[in-house]
Each structure stands twice: as structure tokens, then as C-alpha cells.
Chains A and B, each alone.
Chain A
């Protein structure tokens, strides 16, 4: 790589937070590196400090308890999500989205935390996290706060995170366990292409939810959809919430069309 930077691999959270507080926006956290390193290579990211978070204790912690729900450490990879039995049984939507993300080698390295901090409108993991009322635990030298993923994304590649903040953990409440749903993602070649559009339908206590990727500046969640509605009515509600654009991968019109097509395809499976 042409761009030069200093590499740090802190062994404790306090050391990592101190580095981030000291260097502010010139420091970038390095998790799986599957977004950051290609971006450095392309000259899109030019951090002076690269702070590897994988050597922190408990980075890969992945535990479920009825009291605390699912707790995913920042180092949990997409492959670890796929391998985890509790996730497959209690939170199958996380596994469905994980399965659609990139290729085997990328999934072995990429983290769920890195996926949401990267905040691409086409993020796969954002959709189940939105459908399951997950929250992000953000830590910095000035303390800790918890942000719902419904408020987390603010624009393409933009989040509520402030300079110096670190996403320490993702939590999914136990009350979201066993939510049924389905995910469909349009892409040219599985494993290589980012999604053209993605649609997840999920049940929830207050009605149907539809989460959509690659169809607005951020991943979109439409919640509280009345149970008896037919696919046309659900589609009409979702069409009002999305704002797709024309880009290199396809037109806005095609994205809108495919969102409707996926809703028609998935709704009967989810209402069953």
C-alpha cells in the first residue's frame, strides 16, 4: 500500500480509547479490514493511525442469556454468526443476512460491528439488527451510551458515532428471539457483488416489519404494518419510505420494482 500509517494493537479497552481520544479523526479502528484496507489502498481512507481492536480481551465474545439477550463483542465475525447454534435457533434472521454477505474468505474476517460502522446503504447486517430492535453500545473516554439501530444510521457511510467513540458491543434483546422472517437480496454474483437491493420481512409484536437495503441513503425500517394487509398494500407503505437512486448498478425504477417483487414473494412465507 502506498499510504503510510502507524499501526497500534492495544491490549486493553482503556488503552484503545486513550489512543482514539488522542488522535481523533486521524485514527481508524481496524477490525476485519475488509472495508478499511481496500479503502486505504484506493486512497479513500488516509488514517495516520490504524488501531487494531482484535487483541482486546473478549473481542469475540458471543453469549446469550434470557436476562441479557444476545451480546456480540465487536470482534464477532460474520462466520462466527453463521456457526453459532443459538443464533441459528433463536435469531435466524441474523444468520440469513450473514449468509448473504460476501464470500467465505471475507466472512471469516469481516465483523458485524465493522459492517454497521461502515454504514453502507447496502449493509446486510443492518437489516436483521433493525428488525430485531438491536442496540449498539458505544464507548469513549467520556463514558458509554447505548443507541438503537433505528437511530444509528444518518446517511451513506455516516452514523451517530462521534470521533473517539468505539462500538464495543451489539445487543439483541431476548424479547426479539424467535422472530420469524425472510430475506431476499438481488445481486449479480453471490460472493462478489454488493447488493442491488435487499428486502427483509419479519414478524414482530406490533405487526409486520420490512427492512430494505440499497434503496435510500441509509438502511430503512418500516414497522407496525397491519397484519392482514396484502402485498400491494405493504408495498405501497414501503415505497413511501424508500428513496432509491440511479447508479452504476441499476436504476431507481428497477430498485422500486424489485422491492415490490420481493415483498410479493416473501409475504406468503412470512404470514404462514
Chain B
């Protein structure tokens, strides 16, 4: 790698693998061939050393070597996307642990849940953490979406990443819905009964779609098995792939917007030719913008191209430290919740008795509230489909390049109305509804289902 910049290069032998460890008498295992074969470079607190931390590690490679300094501010993104990623990782780990003890059959699923509670060391804790992390993930993904909206960060060149984000939300909801059935208790059975019957209101295809989803005419073994396969194989892989693309594009699009940023520098990143970057023109080459392949361009140009040179900081350690702290905090929160609150387990699923009230999980309870008032085709199909279509189309319909709130009054007003409506319906459904869907304020009796 030819270093053409004027800054003095650090002594090469500090960074290059040393074949012959100096014989100081004691064993310097960090200089050993074996150590050096794993970690090719020692940690050096020089710009080049920091850059190499990112370059020479496949996991850190997700990060660029340098990021815009504004990314370090927490209020910048509230780290919501990152928190969601951490939660997903927690769900993967706890989920795989649960898989060791869980059999998806109607005869054993419920018993496995009970055994987890009483017979498996820390089994209940793992189940609690899985459950609360799942709820939190839905919440965090929704708040993340709202944050991105209010920041105007879905505008050019990030339109498609917003679309991917909406896909991630859908998959997250799919995760929760399929996971909800797995304990095979009364809560599971009836929430999924209501949820899948909704599908039968889809015009023309409804009945076929519903039967396809539940694998028969009634919820039973086929349903449990289908939901399990979706939950532990199809959805995790889909989410992982989409997440990869999502994060990749966040980086390629130059991280989140600055004020008045949309449509300016960031556009360059969306120019045709993926993998090709256009360094900002400097006086030296102002008339001929260079286009180089990422792989051969020298380090300084890579970072300079992605961000104006003056306001960048090294990812290692600045951003990384913040991420580690946020990840630890997230783990602490779900662990705390898991220790404090047990995941619910009602009586075993019983098709001849519907519990009162039969509520959907909180993120669908707003829909259930609508369903108690309006025709199922409207409330159960058209409204949710409409919301998703509006979300997907948003970046292509809202062509206003401004990111400041005062120049996006229409979009912000409409979105806020949507959000407030959804939140209100959810609160009414979750907290103010009792048996027979009667209005019962939570201070009389709480029928909240989690």
C-alpha cells in the first residue's frame, strides 16, 4: 500500500509481523508466531494502528475506519438501530438455548415450558430474557423508525434503506407473532386464532392464505410446526440478510444526515456503480473527479471520500467504546427485566374455552381495538396494509429535500397523526379493555397481556 501523503509513516517494523521475537529471556507470547498468525498487528495508538484495527478484523470491518464526529453524539440517533441489533443478538443466543429444551408438538410444547420453569437451571431466566427482549425489540424498531422519520433521514439517497427498514419491521413482527404461539398456552392459542382468522378477510385469496399459514382448517400440530420453522429458521435468516444490507447501506450513504445534508454530498454515494466511490474534488484534481475501486484506493482517500476530511474520528476506539457501553446497557436492562418479571404462562391451550378477554400482544392490540368497531376487511386488512404501503412509498412520494422540521410541516403533521392514532388505539386496547371488550379503566382492573 503506497502511502503518498506527506505525514510521516510510523516505523514499519512496529506493525509488521515480527518473525524473530527478541530474546529477552522471558516468553513474549504476543510476539510468537501463533499469536501473530491470529492478530496480525499489535495495537498501536497511532492513526495507522487504529485504522488497522478495523481493517484487519472481519467483525470490525463492518465499521469504516473513520466516522463523522457527529455520529459520536448519542442524541444523534439515540443508538436505536444499534440497540435493535443488540437485542436481535440476545434473541439469537437465548433462542438457540431454548431450542435445546423445546419440542414443537402440541403434546409436549406446554410441558417443555413448565419444565423450563422448574427443571432446567436458569431455564426460566432465559425464557424471560427471550420474551422481554422480543417485546423491547418491537418497541425499539418502531421508535427507530419514528426517529428516522423525524430526522428526515429517509430522503435521497437513503430511500431504499428506509424500505429495507420497513421490511425489518415486518420481519420483527413476524418473529413475535410466530414466537407467541410456541408456548401453546391459552394466550398463544387465542391470540393466534384471532390473528390468523384476520387473514381470511383478504379478498379472494383469504381462506387459502389462512389455511396455508396454519396448515389446515384449525390451529393444531401443523400450525405449531409451521410457526416453529418460520420462527427459528426462515425469519432469523431473512432478518440477518436484510440487516446486513441495511447496515452496509447506512455506511455507504455516509451515516445519518446532517442538517441540510440530504441531496448534497451524500448523493454522491448513491451514484451508479456500487463499490465505486467518488472522492470529493480537491483543488488538485478539481476538474477531473477520480473514480477508484474501493480495494485499491489508499486509506486516506477512502475515509476522505465518505466524509469531509475535517470532522471525522477514528471508529476504533471512539465509536466502538460507545457501542460496547450501549450493548452492555441493553444486556443489563433485559437481564434486569428477566430477573424481575416472569414470562407469562397460562393454562394449556384449550380449543373449547376462550379466555376473557382474549387479547392480542400489545403491538397488535391497536388493530384489535379497530376490529371491535369496524368491518374486519377495513380494520384488519385495509388499514394495516395501508399503513405498510404508506410507509414503503413515503420516501418516493415525499420529494421535499428539506430535513428541518419547519420546512416539512405537511409530512410531519401527517406522520404524527398516524403515530398518535396508533399509540392511542394501542393504549385503549391494551389497558382499557376487559372481558367482552368492555371499557374497564386499568385502575379498576388491568387486563394487559404481554
* A and B together in one complex: no
Q: Which residues of A contact B (CB under 8 A)?
A: none
Q: Which residues of B contact A (CB under 8 A)?
A: none
